[in-house]
Amino acid sequence: MAKVEIKIYPDSILRKKARQVARVGNDERKLAYDMIKTMRSANGVGLAAPQVGISKRIIVVEDMQGDNRIALTLINPKITRKKGNVNFCEGCLSLPGISSDVARPEFITVEALNLDGDILKINADGLLARIIQHETDHLDGILFIDKIGFLKRRKIIKQFGAKVCMEF
């Protein structure tokens, strides 16, 4: 397994919608393993393919079960149910050093393909639900800073040297 480069905001791939994976093959499995290695090396808990420069709808997430960390790969994930609402501080490997409270549903159901191409359905809550939502947003070109207040977002964008667009 090889570590891959994490794209840092304002890299344009972070704002593009990723392509569906038509068939799960060796390329997708290798990418997932490389993403897991990269995520863990960076002390992250989730990573989306666009964050490593690949326009594919693939995410990897850490499922913390007690003292054990289990990496899950979700291909073409689709959140089919959301319930509740909770604020929690989020960060992102593509926005190093930045964190902010973000409101997200507390419980979700997600359907995706696994590395064998089989359909899986996960009911998640707490941290796992948050990670899946955060990474799934990346597949649609959405960053957690898009979910915070305008003034705080503007300050962060300027900090990264990106152009600030006026939003009305």
Query: Which of the residues are catalytic?
Result: 135
132 within 8 A of 124, measured Cβ to Cβ? yes
